[in-house]
C-alpha cells in the first residue's frame, strides 16, 4: 500500500514537472500566432514609405529585366525584405497573382502601400508588354522625389531643432531660474525695472497657469488639424504655403517639379492623357494643381491644348507655359516636361542651399536676442544697485 502511494505521488510529481514543458511551446506558438495576426491586420492599411517603395520598384524592375517570372521576382523580394508587414503585403500580392489575377489588380488591394501612380504605371506596363521598362521609369521618378524630399527635410532639421531648443531653454529660465532672482529682488525692497518686472510676472503666470497654456496649445493644434481637414481649410493652407515668406518660393517650385515629372513619366509610358491628369491631380497634394488638372481635362476633352490652360493660370510661370507650348508644336510634351522638372529640381536645390545659409545667422541672432535679453533683464537691478552703491561711496 505504501509502495502504491509513493508511486502515485511520484507519477503526480512527474506530471506536474512535465506540464510546464508542455505548456511552454504552446504559449510560444500562441504568441507567434497572435503576432502574425496583428501583422496581417496591419498589412491591410500599411503605409509604405516612399523610399521603400522606390527600392521595391527598382528591384522588381531589375529582376523582370533579367528575365525572371513575376511570381518568382515577388518571392525573392519577399524573402529579402526586412519589414515584416511589407513581407505579408508581398506575400498576398504573390498569392493573388498565382491565382491568375493581374499584377495591377493585386497591388490595387493595398492602396496605402502602392500609390495611384504605381498602380497606373503597372496597368500601362501590362497593356504595352513592357512592364520592366515602365517600372524602371517609375523607380527613377520615386528616387528623384525621395532625393528632393530628403534635401528639404535636412534643411529644415537644423532650424526646427534650434527653435525647439530655444523654446525649451526659455521655459526653463522662466519656470526655474527667474523665481530665484525674484525672491532675491524682493528682499531689496526697491522698484524693479520694467523688463525685469515683466519677466517676473510672466514667470509667475507660467507657473500658475502652465496647464492652461498646454491645453490652449493642444486646442489650437487640434482645431487647426480639423480645419485643414476640411476642403476650405485645405485650400487656405495650400494658398498660404505657396505665398508664405522665405519658404513659399520653395514650396511652389517643388509643386511645379512634381507636376511636370509625374505628367512626363505617365505620358511617356503610354497612359491616356485624361487618366494622366487624374493621377497627377491625386499625386500633387496641392489644390492649385488639382484645379488646373480639372480645367486641363475639360479643355483637352473639347479639343484644346494643355498650354492654353497653363497660360491662363497664374500658378504656372511664363517659362513653363512657353516650353509646354513648344513641346506641343514639336510633339515632345513629355520631353519638355522632363526638362522643366529637372530645371525646378536644380532651382529647389539652390533655394534650399540659400535658405540654409540664410537661416543659420538668423537663428544665431534670434537666440542671442532672446536669451541675452532675458539675462540682461534679470541682471539689470543688480547693475543699478551697483551704480547706487558706487555713488554713495
CATH architecture of 144-393: Up-down Bundle (1.20)
Over residues 344-357, mean pLDDT: 86
Cα separations in angstroms, 173 against 169, 191, 200, 374, 377 = 6, 22, 11, 8, 12
Distance between CA 369 and CA 74 in Å, rounded?
Answer: 58
What is the per-residue pLDDT for 388? 43
Answer yes or no: is pLDDT of 351 > 60.
yes
Over residues 139-146, mean pLDDT: 88
Domains 50-114 and 144-393 share a fold: yes
Could you report the per-residue pLDDT of 80-128, keeping only the tens digit for each? 888 889 999 999 999 999 998 999 999 999 988 998 889 888 988 888 8
* H-state helical runs in the chain: 2-43, 50-65, 70-80, 84-98, 103-107, 116-128, 131-172, 178-188, 194-229, 231-243, 248-268, 273-284, 287-301, 306-311, 318-330, 333-392
Could you report the per-residue pLDDT of 1-12, keeping only the tens digit for each? 444 444 444 544
Over residues 61-69, mean pLDDT: 91
Answer yes or no: is pLDDT of 146 > 80.
yes
Could you report the per-residue pLDDT of 14-41, keeping only the tens digit for each? 444 444 444 556 887 777 777 778 878 8
Q: Determine how many CB atoms are found less than 10 A away from the CB of residue 167.
A: 11
Residue 171: all three cell numbers together: 521655459
Written out in words, the top-level CATH class of the domain with range 50-114 is mainly alpha
Q: Are 138 and 58 in contact (CB under 8 A)?
A: no
What is the per-residue pLDDT for 25? 65
With pLDDT > 90 as the criterion, what percentage of the chain qualifies? 29
What is the per-residue pLDDT for 72? 93
Residue 181: all three cell numbers together: 532672482
Q: What is the mean pLDDT of the chain?
A: 84
Answer yes or no: is pLDDT of 58 > 70.
yes
What is the per-residue pLDDT for 331? 87
What is the per-residue pLDDT for 386? 58
Residue 227: all three cell numbers together: 480645419
Could you report the per-residue pLDDT of 68-82, keeping only the tens digit for each? 999 999 999 999 888
What is the per-residue pLDDT for 227? 92
Answer yes or no: is pLDDT of 282 > 50.
yes
Which letter, b or e, does each residue of 133-150 get, where b requires 16 or more Cβ atoms within 10 Å of its Cβ? ebbbbbbbbbbbbbebee
Over residues 324-350, mean pLDDT: 90
Q: Are 114 and 107 in contact (CB under 8 A)?
A: yes
At what angle are helices 178-188 and 333-392 packed, to 10 degrees?
A: 30
Least confident of 183-187, 204-208, 368-372: 183-187
| Helix, strand, or coil (residue 108) | coil
| 255 Cβ contact list (under 8 Å, min separation 6) | 242, 284, 286, 288, 289
Terminal C-alpha separation, the chain: 110
Answer yes or no: is pLDDT of 372 > 80.
yes
Residue 360: all three cell numbers together: 543659420
Residue 311: all three cell numbers together: 497660360
DSSP code at position 305: -
Long-range contacts (CB closer than 8 Å, 24 or more residues apart) made by 381-384: 381/185, 381/188, 381/190, 381/192, 381/193, 381/196, 384/193
Give me the residue spans of the domains in the chain: 50-114, 144-393
Could you report the per-residue pLDDT of 150-190, keeping only the tens digit for each? 888 887 888 888 888 888 888 888 888 888 888 888 877 67
Distance between CA 113 and CA 107 in Å, rounded?
Answer: 8
Closest by CA to 85, choosing from 30, 139, 54, 45, is 45
Amino acid at each position: 500500500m505504501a509502495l502504491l502511494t509513493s508511486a502515485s505521488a511520484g507519477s503526480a510529481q512527474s506530471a506536474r514537472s512535465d506540464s510546464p514543458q508542455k505548456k511552454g511551446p504552446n504559449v510560444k506558438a500562441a504568441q507567434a500566432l497572435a503576432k502574425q495576426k496583428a501583422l496581417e491586420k496591419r498589412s491591410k492599411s500599411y503605409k509604405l514609405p516612399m523610399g521603400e517603395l522606390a527600392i521595391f520598384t527598382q528591384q522588381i524592375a531589375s529582376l523582370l529585366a533579367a528575365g525572371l517570372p513575376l511570381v518568382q521576382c515577388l518571392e525573392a523580394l519577399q524573402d529579402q525584405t526586412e519589414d515584416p508587414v511589407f513581407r505579408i503585403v508581398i506575400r498576398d500580392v504573390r498569392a493573388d497573382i498565382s491565382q491568375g489575377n493581374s499584377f495591377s489588380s493585386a497591388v490595387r488591394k493595398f492602396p496605402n502601400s502602392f500609390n495611384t501612380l504605381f498602380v497606373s504605371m503597372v496597368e500601362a506596363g501590362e497593356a504595352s508588354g513592357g512592364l520592366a521598362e515602365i517600372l524602371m521609369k517609375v523607380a527613377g521618378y520615386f528616387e528623384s522625389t525621395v532625393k528632393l524630399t530628403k534635401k528639404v527635410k535636412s534643411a529644415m532639421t537644423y532650424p526646427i531643432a534650434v527653435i525647439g531648443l530655444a523654446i525649451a531653454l526659455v521655459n526653463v529660465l522662466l519656470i526655474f531660474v527667474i523665481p530665484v532672482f525674484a525672491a532675491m529682488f524682493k528682499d531689496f525692497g526697491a522698484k524693479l525695472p520694467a523688463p525685469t518686472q515683466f519677466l517676473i510676472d510672466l514667470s509667475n503666470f507660467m507657473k500658475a497657469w502652465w496647464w492652461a497654456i498646454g491645453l490652449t496649445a493642444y486646442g489650437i493644434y487640434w482645431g487647426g488639424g480639423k480645419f485643414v481637414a476640411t476642403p476650405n481649410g485645405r485650400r487656405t493652407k495650400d494658398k498660404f504655403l505657396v505665398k508664405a515668406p522665405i519658404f513659399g518660393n520653395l514650396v511652389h517650385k517643388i509643386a511645379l517639379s512634381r507636376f511636370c515629372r509625374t505628367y512626363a513619366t505617365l505620358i511617356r509610358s503610354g497612359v491616356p492623357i485624361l487618366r494622366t491628369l487624374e493621377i497627377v491631380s491625386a499625386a500633387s497634394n496641392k489644390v492649385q494643381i488639382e484645379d488646373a488638372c480639372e480645367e486641363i481635362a475639360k479643355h483637352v476633352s473639347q479639343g484644346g491644348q494643355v498650354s492654353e490652360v497653363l497660360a491662363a493660370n497664374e500658378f504656372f510661370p511664363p517659362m513653363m507655359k512657353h516650353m509646354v507650348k513648344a513641346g506641343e508644336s514639336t510633339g515632345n510634351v513629355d520631353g519638355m516636361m522632363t526638362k522643366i522638372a529637372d530645371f525646378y529640381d536644380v532651382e529647389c536645390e539652390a533655394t534650399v542651399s540659400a535658405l540654409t545659409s540664410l537661416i543659420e545667422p538668423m537663428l544665431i541672432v534670434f537666440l542671442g536676442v532672446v536669451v541675452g535679453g532675458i539675462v540682461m533683464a534679470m541682471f539689470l537691478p543688480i547693475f543699478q544697485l551697483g551704480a547706487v552703491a558706487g555713488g554713495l561711496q
